[in-house]
Amino acid sequence: MRGSLDEACEAVQAAAAGKSKAEIRRLLTEEFRSRDVPPLPPELFEVAVQQIATGTYTPGEPLGFVRRTGLLRVPFVRNALRRAFDAALAEHGPEGVFLPQVVWVSDAVADAWPMMSRSLPHPQGRGLYAPPPDQVPPPARLMPDPDLRTRMPEVFEGPPPLPVPLPSDTAPDDADLVFAWLEDHDGTVAVCCAPGRIGVLEAGEAEAYLPLVRAAAAQDQVVAATSDISRTTPATVSVVPNQGLRAGTASPAG
């Protein structure tokens, strides 16, 4: 399969000049299908797309190699393995085998939302919703919970350092936003991430968010968001707009 994967990626890379990432995704999907290449996990597929778009795809190099795409700072292979073993863990192991961690993203996550959303944390049984750009309210001020610095210090410290040494063609890494989601807690908009609640939106500014949050909740979804809490004071929260292939789509619940 590795040979067919390389051949598919090389074929698309040879024809990628002047094409958008959306066109590259379509071409790569068609090449995979024509060569009977099994579907890749979405985050690995997006790594291939990014490398092809920048002309840096290298045959034989594992897609799981930690190469920064500016989208997401988590080990890609670990996430793929986690999904593969989710069912077995649910049946044979405790829910806490994988400790929830803060996930760091960049603004570029909006461009690849349909691909990346399945790799992002969300509440059990509820999907993530990213609205079309024209439905996104302005950024709102985050009011962190009083005990947050003690309970979740990593959100203030910023993302973990990249491995050393880095590949020579590593892209600039700007994945320094905390990925979060928004929920309605008795009329306040709570900002949550995988390890727990971060805080709430400032009351006056939250009014613009409540209709969106409640509409998502009616569909068993939570609104995808990011926060600049590690780099800005006062911190703000922004809804993730879906600027990808299917505007306004939600990730599957799980």
Supply the angle between the helices 2-14 and 21-34 in degrees, to the nearest 10: 140
pLDDT at residue 91 greater than cutoff 50: no
Please write the tens of the pLDDT for every residue from 182-217.
999 999 999 999 889 999 999 999 999 999 999 999
- Angle of CA points 59, 176, 188, to nearest 5°: 130
Burial grade of 176 (CB within 10 A; 0-12, 13-18, 19 or more) = middle
Average pLDDT estimate for 220-239: 94
Q: Does residue 214 sit in helix, strand or coil?
A: helix
Q: Which two tokens stand for residue 215?
A: 């509409």
Top mean pLDDT of 44-58, 143-157, 163-177 is at 143-157
Q: At which residue do the structure tokens 């599957």 appear?
A: 252
Using CA atoms, how far apart are residues 37 and 3, in angstroms rounded to an integer? 10
CA 237 – CA 242 distance, rounded (Å): 16
When pLDDT is averaged across residues 87-98 and rounded to a whole number, the result is: 41
Residue 161 pLDDT: 64
Q: Return the pLDDT at 214.
A: 95
At 85, the pLDDT band (50, 70, 90 cuts) reads very low
Please check the confidence at residue 1 and state whether its pLDDT lies above 80.
no
- Cα separation of 234 and 73, whole Å? 24
| Contact of 198 with 187, CB cutoff 8 Å | no
| Mean pLDDT, range 113-136, rounded to an integer | 85
Cα–Cα dist 124/128, whole Å? 11
Q: 143 pLDDT exceeds 50?
A: yes
pLDDT of residue 166: 47
**Surface-to-core class of residue 14, CB atoms within 10 Å of its CB (0-12 exposed, 13-18 middle, 19+ buried):** exposed
pTM of the model as a whole = 0.60
Highest mean pLDDT among 32-36, 57-61, 80-84, 161-165: 32-36
